[in-house]
Structure 1
Amino acid sequence: MQLITSPASPFARKARMVIIETGQEDDVELVEVMSSPTAPNPQLTAANPMSKIPALIRSDGPTLYDSRVVTRYLDARSGGALYPESRIWDVLVLEATGDAIMDAGVLMVYENRCRPEDMQFGGWMDAQWGKIEGALDALNTRWMSHLSGPLDMGQISVACALGYLDFRHAEREWRKGRDALDDWFAVFSARDSFRATMPA
């Protein structure tokens, strides 16, 4: 299999972490591409008509895309430990929360990178950050017991989201007033899979 990926993409990082956590490094070749909404990579577009990373090219079936589809497939292929049925709805909501933080964070980057300066809208950027702050507050108050439990896909998604905030939006200081989430992230960040997939 081939995973079309990018070192800076938090969504691709999710898939790369799952590959490591489930011991599938020898089964998946990483294919790094450069792509953006205004300059999509032809190889990526051929695999995913939406031109979004990641995409998992399989020899025994159609290419899979959208990070949640890719991670669910990789986990099922290895035995299904990251989406446990006993708490599946909590895992899926937590994964969606992490993904939503990534979505808003990436859109903020695109606003600066893809729009001409005279067309950029600060109010829209602040609205995206407001969504991120709401999600962070929810994680810090109502999700800490789950985050502190056995490893699952929700935790991986949240960790990738927080890592992306550090990478692209460090000046926004997401940790302020969120000590519990900060403490959890400090511990999670020591995982080998997280350290091996640092964005660049």
Structure 2
Amino acid sequence: MKLFYAKASPFVRKVLVAAHELGLADRIELLPAAAHPINRDATIRAENPLGQVPTLILDDGTALADSRVICEYLDHLGQGGLFPAAGPARWAALTAQSTGDGLLDAALLCVYETRVRQEGERSAGWVTGQREKIGDALARIDAAAGEFGERVDIATITYGCALGYLDLRLPDLGWRKRAPAAAAWYARFGERPSMQATRPD
């Protein structure tokens, strides 16, 4: 398998953490890619019309796009259990994944607004709105963090990658003060070998 990736992408990290947890990391060849919202990478676009990372190319040439799809595929391939079976636990895990992904979407939009758009094109109101989404998602994660324990599933992997991305790109947010329970959990989860192996810095 081959994975179009960018080291700083939290969605790529999510896929790689899942691969490490499932014992599949050594079966994935990493293909550096220059995904960008404006200067789109033609190499990725040939496989994924959205031109986004992560994009996974299977051995038969099939392309899988989006971290949610790729993580579920890897879980199936590795017979893992990162995704609970059908029922309430599954819906809860998928909803948590969606919350974490939404936090990441908002964080990426903040980054794009300040790093990609020209100064005269930027909107302070837009950034404020995205940061409010991040704050609301953090509150939801913090409220649940006391129950995470040693869980390793798609919910906790997504949350861990989301919090790590805030450290990387939005350190001024000071998320630990706003979400102390999540911070205490992340201090442990971030030490997992899968998280250490995929650190973007």
Q: Deviations over 1:67-121 (max 9, x none)?
A: 1000000011010310021611111011111101110000111111221101100
Letter in 2 for 1:191: R
Task: Give me the TM-score of the superposition, normalised by structure 2.
Answer: 0.95
In structure 1, list runs of 5 or more residues that go unmatched: none
Map 1:18-57 to 2 at 5 A: 18-57=18-57
SS at match of 1:4: strand
Map 1:117-136 to 2 at 5 A: 117-136=119-138
> How far apart are the structure 1 equivalents of 2:141 and 2:35?
31
Deviation at 1:163, TM superposition (A): 0.3
Residue pair 2:113, 2:122 contacting (<8 A) in 1 also? yes
> How far apart are the structure 1 equivalents of 2:184 and 2:102?
21
Residue pair 2:99, 2:137 contacting (<8 A) in 1 also? yes
In structure 2, list runs of 5 or more residues that go unmatched: none
Deviation at 1:146, TM superposition (A): 4.4
Equivalenced residue count is: 199
> How far apart are the structure 1 equivalents of 2:9 and 2:98?
16
CA RMSD of aligned residues (A): 1.3
> How far apart are the structure 2 equivalents of 1:182 and 1:145?
10
SS at match of 1:175: helix
What's the counterpart of residue 108 of structure 1? 110
> How far apart are the structure 2 equivalents of 1:27 and 1:189?
23
Residues 54, 138 of structure 1: alpha-carbon distance in 2 compared, 3 angstrom cutoff: same
> How far apart are the structure 2 equivalents of 1:26 and 1:156?
19
> How far apart are the structure 1 equivalents of 2:23 and 2:117?
40
Deviation at 1:177, TM superposition (A): 3.3
Task: Give me the TM-score of the superposition, normalised by structure 1.
Answer: 0.95
Letter in 2 for 1:126: T
SS at match of 2:178: coil
Deviation at 1:59, TM superposition (A): 2.2
> How far apart are the structure 2 equivalents of 1:150 and 1:45?
36
> How far apart are the structure 2 equivalents of 1:12 and 1:153?
14
Residues 146, 77 of structure 1: alpha-carbon distance in 2 compared, 3 angstrom cutoff: farther
Deviates more, 1:145-154 or 1:77-86: 145-154
Deviation at 1:61, TM superposition (A): 5.2
Deviates more, 1:120-129 or 1:80-89: 80-89
Residues 103, 3 of structure 1: alpha-carbon distance in 2 compared, 3 angstrom cutoff: same
Deviation at 1:33, TM superposition (A): 1.2
- Identical pairs, percent: 38
SS at match of 1:176: helix
What's the counterpart of residue 151 of structure 1? 152
Letter in 1 for 2:151: P
> How far apart are the structure 1 equivalents of 2:42 and 2:61?
20
Deviation at 1:2, TM superposition (A): 0.1
Q: Deviations over 1:119-168 (max 9, x none)?
A: 10011101000001001001111x22542252101000000000000000
